[in-house]
Amino acid sequence: MSGKRGNGEGSIYPYKNGYAAYVWVTKPDGKRARKYAYGKTREEVHEKWLLLHAEAKKGPVATRHRTLAAFLSYWLDSIVKPNLAPLSYVSYEGYVRLYIAPHLGTKRLDKLTVRDVREWLTKLATICQCCAQGKDAKREPGRRKCCAGGECCEAYASRRVVQGARDALRAALTHAVTEEEIGKNVASLVKVPKPRRRRIKPWSVAEAGQFLADAVARADHLFAAWMLVLCLGLRRGEVLGLTWQSIDFETGELYVDHQIQRAGRQLLHRETKTEESDDFLPLPAVCLKALRMRRAQQLGDRKAAGELWQDTRGLVFTTKYGTPIEPGNLTRMFALRARRAGVRVIPLRNTRHTCSSLLVALKVHPKVAQRILRHSQIAMTMEVYAEASEEEVRNAIGRLSDAMGGTATG
């Protein structure tokens, strides 16, 4: 075996049981350094040497590849946290900490393969997460009941969790490709079964009317919230983030621009997700009256609380001490009131589907309904209005109107 270099191979030389080569490259931090390649034969090293040269001409080249765990930590702290919504960071951080890093964290970022990702996802769906995360072991000895006692509870990751973990890894590797640390995103090449969504039939207008009539008859402090959810299609966070400054009682308009969100241990009052979510919405008479009732209720709560009252930026919906309402608590209270009213319990988010039908039954003017439903053309709204209300629907709205003093339409 000759140690003499061939023409054009100035940086290839014998090394241990084979050969080595290097190319001067510019690192991501702008500094110059040598990048090495190794192989058993001169031909093998020569090919790697040519690839290194081509890579160096394209742009910065990393001379040391970090582990996936190290990159994910950098991605969460430097990319996700400062640029995405707090809830997005909490979601990604959870997937990384619980499902990705424990299984793939030690892999070198540039060595991660499609097969690695596929085997990880397959394994993830068959491992008891109570065992893997030590959930039962973290409980006090007297309260342990399954995995820590040798009886596996088989708490396997759902399809939704598996898909979420894959999506989090794919998002991280997409950024690694952007920063030219890797050449391709192997996670995007692995398909996972989509979780099946359970279809839940939304409330009919009769059911919505029965629910609202029961709420107003009981002087429910959240009656106005239910009205806004059902009549305007507002989301849970948007209702809870509403302030009195956002309501114009004279013009009958509501400006939606803030929301309440639970992000880990923080309860945030922040802007809505996108600028498209911000909008001025006309308030039907029934909603205006409900909000006036809510204002009177809150003044009563404030007087009763006295010095214990906490003023939180003029929020419309608060606890009896003026503090923000937890989003999860609003969901639970909605289910509780639905049972109390004798109607089917549906998820709070499904109430948006009832909005258009309820506007028809409340005889809200089509042009007003068009703005509320955010239809681009009035023809779309008129298709909704073409559906005649049944006698049962009219009776339900009549009961709501009577409960509110005869002003449930406008």
The pLDDT assigned to 110 comes to 86
Select, from the ranges 153-157, 253-257, 342-346, 351-355, the one with the highest average predicted confidence (pLDDT). Answer: 342-346
Residues 147, 139 contacting (CB under 8 angstroms)? no
Q: Tell me, what's the pLDDT at 274?
A: 52
Record the tokens describing residue 76, joined without a space. 């969460």
- The predicted-structure confidence for 104-124, as pLDDT tens digits, reads as follows 999 999 889 999 999 999 999
Examine residue 112 and state whether it is found in any structural domain, yes or no: yes
Instruction: Examine the domain organization and report whether 379 and 272 are in the same domain.
Output: yes
- 50 found inside a domain: yes
On whether the CB atoms of residues 151 and 165 are closer than 8 A, the answer is no
**Whether residue 134 is found in the same domain as residue 184:** yes
Region 9-31: mean pLDDT is 79
Last residue of a domain, one of 141, 162, 189: 189
Does residue 175 share a domain with residue 49? no
pLDDT at 348 over 80: yes
Q: What is the pLDDT of residues 131-190, one digit of tens each?
A: 888 888 888 888 888 888 888 888 888 889 999 999 999 999 999 988 877 888 999 999
Q: How far apart are CA 46 and CA 279, in angstroms?
A: 62
Strand partners, 33: 25
Q: Greater confidence, 191 or 265?
A: 191
C-alpha closest to that of 222 among 243, 240, 249:
240
How would you class 180 by CB atoms within 10 Å of its CB: exposed for 0-12, middle for 13-18, buried for 19 or more?
Answer: middle
Q: Do 279 and 174 share a structural domain?
A: no
Q: How many domains does the chain have?
A: 3
Residues 329, 367 share a domain: yes
Per DSSP bridges, beta strands 18-26 and 253-256 are unpaired
**Residue in the structure block whose two tokens are 């996700």:** 80
Last residue of a domain, one of 160, 189, 218: 189
Instruction: Answer yes or no: do 28 and 171 share one domain.
Output: no
Q: Is residue 196 part of a domain?
A: no
Residue 324 domain flag: yes
* Confidence (pLDDT) at 231: 82
Does residue 335 share a domain with residue 217? yes
Say whether 26 sits in a helix, a strand or coil.
Answer: strand
**Residue with token string 């549906």:** 346
Q: Is residue 249 part of a domain?
A: yes
- Indicate if the pLDDT at residue 379 is higher than 90: no
Note whether 82 and 151 are same-domain residues: yes
**Nearest-5° angle of CA 22, CA 27, CA 32?**
65
The answer on 103 and 26 residing in a single domain is no
In angstroms, rounded to a whole number, what is the distance separating the alpha carbons of residues 107 and 118?
Answer: 14
Helix, strand or coil, per DSSP, at residue 266: strand
Query: How does residue 389 score in pLDDT terms, banded at 50, 70 and 90?
Result: very low
Closest CA to 286 of 208, 218, 346, 351: 208
Rounded Cα distance between 349 and 355, Å, is: 11
Q: Mark whether 230 and 130 lie in a shared domain.
A: no
Domain presence at residue 229: yes
How far apart CA 116 and CA 70 sit, in angstroms, is 17
Could you tell me the residue range of the domain that residue 353 belongs to? 205-403
Question: Is residue 358 located within the same domain as residue 236?
Answer: yes
Domain CATH code at residue 77 = 1.10.150.130
Q: What residues contact residue 129 under an 8 Å CB cut-off, 6+ apart?
A: 98, 135, 155, 156, 157
Better pLDDT: 201 or 167: 167
Residue 65 pLDDT exceeds 90: no
**Confidence at 298, pLDDT banded by 50, 70, 90:** very high
Q: Is the pLDDT of residue 392 over 50?
A: no
> In terms of domains, do 182 and 263 share one?
no
Residue 408's pLDDT is 52
Does residue 58 register a pLDDT over 90? no
Q: How confident is the model at residue 9 (pLDDT cuts 50, 70, 90)?
A: very low
What is the phi-psi region of residue 15: left when phi exceeds 0, alpha when psi lies from -120 to 50, beta otherwise?
A: beta
